[in-house]
Amino acid sequence: MLNGNEPPQCPVCDIRAKSQKERLPGDLIFVPAETPEGMASYKVQCPSCGVFVITEDVYKDLPTAKLPNKHLCSAWLYQYTKTHQKDPFKIYEIDDLRKMDFSILPKTVTDKKEALMIALAEFIENKNKAYTDIIHFKDGHFIPEIAAKSFDELISIVRLLASDELITSHLTLNGEGSACTITSKGWERIDSYRKVKTDGKTVFVAMWFDKTTELYRKHVSDIILKCGYNPIIIDQHDYEGYIMDQVLHQIKIAKFIVADYTVMPEDDNKEHPKVKGGSRGGVYFEAGFAKGLNKKVIVTCKNDEGSKRRLHFDIEQINRIEWTDEDLGGKFNEKLESRILNVFGKGPL
C-alpha cells in the first residue's frame, strides 16, 4: 500500500498530492480500485496525466523502470482521458506505458503552437469567460496539451505566439504568475483552425484502387466501421458531376483521413502507364489537401521495398502503420484501431 507517512505522488509525472485539508478541485487524488483480475490498484486523478488506473505492483516498480519520455506518457494519458472520460486507461504492466503511440501528440514547434492556441480557446469557452479575459497558465492543463517537457518549454511556445501577435503575454521571472490574453488576431487564427465543419461520422480513405489492395480496402473499412465511423472510398459511392469535386467535398466533411501510400513500381505496372515512378500522386494530393484544412491524416503503407523506397521525404519521416497481407486481420487491424480510438475516440455510429 502507499506510504501513509507522506502524500503519494503521480507515478508518471511525479506531481505530489496535497493533504486533504489543502486539496483543491483538480488536484492529484488516489482512490483504491479493484481490477477484474483482483489486483490491488489505484485510480489516479492527476492534473497533468488525467485519470488512469494503475496496479500497486506497477506503482512500486515504475520509479526504477527507467521509463524514457515520461512527459510524453503524461501527455498521452491526458489526451486519452479527454476522449475516453468514462473508461480510464489501465496500466497493469509497465509495458502498457512503453506501447503508447506518441505520434498522436504535437511534435513540431508549429504543432505545439496550434495545440496551445486551441487549448487556450477551449479554456476560455469551457469556463464561460470573456474572449478578452486573462488566462493564468497555472489554472489550465497546458503542459500536457502540447506535450511539453517542462513549464519552461510551455513558456517558450507562449513567447513565440506573442511574437506572432496571437496572444499578449504577461510573464514573470519565475513563471509562477505567468498569463496571457488571446488577441483579435489570435481568435481569427483559432477560427481558421476550426474553419472546416465536419459531419463527425465519415473517414475519407485515400488509396490505390487496384486488385492488389482489395484485401487492405476490406480490412480498413471494417476497422473504421468498428470504431464507429463511416468509411468513404470514393469509387464505392455514387455521385454527379466531376469526381474531384466529390473527392474534395468528402475530405472537407470527413472527421479524419486514412492515406495509404502503397505503390507498384512503374516497370511492373504495364496496366497503369500513367503512374510515374510508381508514386500515388492522387493520394499525395488528397492527403495534402486534408492537411491544408487542418485535418489529421493517418498514414499507412505496405511493408515492401517497392512502396517504402518510393515514399517522398516529407512523408517518409511521418509515423506510419505498415502492413503486409499476412498482417491484415491481425496486427495491422489492432494498430489502426488503437490509433483511431486513441486520437479520435469512439465514433457516433
What's the pLDDT score for residue 24? 47
Sheet holding 179-182: strands in order across? 135-136, 179-182, 167-170
Handedness of CA 159, 163, 164, 168 (dihedral sign): positive
Lowest-confidence pick of 90-99, 216-225, 257-266, 270-279 = 270-279
CATH architecture of the domain formed by 202-344: 3-Layer(aba) Sandwich (3.40)
pLDDT at 52: 92
Mean pLDDT of all residues belonging to the chain: 82
Largest Cα span, the chain = 75
Alpha helices in 173-242 (DSSP H): 184-193, 214-226
In CATH terms, the fold of domain 109-193 is Arc Repressor Mutant, subunit A (1.10.10)
Which are the contacts of 253, defined by CB distance < 8 A and separation ≥ 6?
196, 197, 198, 199, 202
What are the grid coordinates assigned to 131, written together? 474572449
- Sequence ranges of the chain with CATH classification 1.10.10.10: 109-193
Residue 159 has pLDDT above 70, yes or no: yes
Which residues make up the CATH 3.40.50.10140 domain(s) of the chain? Answer: 202-344
Contacts of 208-211 spanning 24+ positions with Cβ under 8 A: 208/260, 208/262, 208/263, 208/264, 208/280, 208/283, 209/235, 210/264, 210/272
Q: What share of the chain is helix, strand, coil (3-state, %, to 5)?
A: 40, 15, 40
pLDDT of residue 181: 95
- Residue 287, SS3? helix
User: Rounded to the nearest 10 degrees, how much is the dihedral formed by the CA atoms of 26, 120, 160, 50?
Assistant: 30
0.85 exceeded by pTM: no
Question: Coil, strand, or helix at residue 202?
Answer: strand
